[in-house]
């Protein structure tokens, strides 16, 4: 009986002393931010730590709950001829990437958007133009399930030739 107890105690001690993924890591985002480029693309930048020393790469996913793009048709004279000649396109967006882990942490960025015009097109002699974009519900998720919610609405007016014509209110 003593031998069995000694073996069980020794086994428990060895298991408790062994590092494992659950004990060696505690994934969390140290920083996460987002911005919109002049092209309408949303880019989220992050730093994630607590990944442990046995992980070579980390998979990160960028999710956007609602992405909205406003398109206008512009005639040859550079004018927006009709208020009915516009299209608002909305969708959720997602992008993923694998990032190298060094010393238990990784940094990087992921980009999405803008939402395309879908089936909207312009009549002959007019050019399809992206006027504004808006992104809400921006979130980064690590492979281990840790998340970073980037609060706020990220928007940009990409063409200021038509003040007040943008119903989303992004353009002045």
- Please, are residues 133 and 123 in contact by the beta-carbon 8 Å criterion? no
110: its two tokens: 């992921």
**pLDDT value at position 123?**
87
pLDDT digits 0-9 by tens, 8-47: 344 444 444 444 443 347 999 999 999 999 999 999 999 9
- CATH class of this structure's domain 23-157: mainly beta
pLDDT digits 0-9 by tens, 48-64: 999 998 889 999 999 99
**Cα-flanking dihedrals φ and ψ of residue 44, to 5°?**
-105, 130
Contacts of 103 (CB under 8 A, 6+ apart): 53
44: its two tokens: 């989220």
Spell out the domain ranges in the chain: 23-157
pLDDT digits 0-9 by tens, 85-124: 678 899 999 999 999 999 999 999 999 999 999 888 888 8
């Amino acid at each position: 009986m003593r031998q069995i107890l000694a073996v069980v105690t020794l086994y428990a001690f060895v298991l408790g002393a062994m590092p494992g993924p659950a004990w060696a890591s505690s994934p969390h985002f140290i920083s996460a931010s987002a911005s919109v480029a002049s092209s309408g693309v949303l880019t989220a930048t992050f730093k994630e730590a607590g990944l442990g020393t046995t992980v070579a790469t980390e998979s990160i996913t960028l999710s956007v709950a609602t992405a909205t793009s406003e398109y206008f048709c512009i005639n040859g004279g550079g004018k927006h001829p009709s208020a009915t000649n516009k299209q608002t396109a909305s969708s959720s967006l997602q992008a993923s990437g694998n990032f190298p882990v060094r010393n238990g942490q990784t940094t990087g960025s992921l980009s999405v958007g803008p939402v395309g015009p879908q089936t909207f097109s312009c009549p002959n002699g007019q050019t399809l133009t992206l006027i504004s974009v808006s992104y809400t519900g921006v979130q980064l998720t690590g492979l281990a399930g840790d998340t970073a919610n980037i609060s706020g609405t990220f928007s940009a007016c990409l063409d200021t030739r038509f003040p007040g014509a943008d119903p989303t209110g992004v353009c002045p």
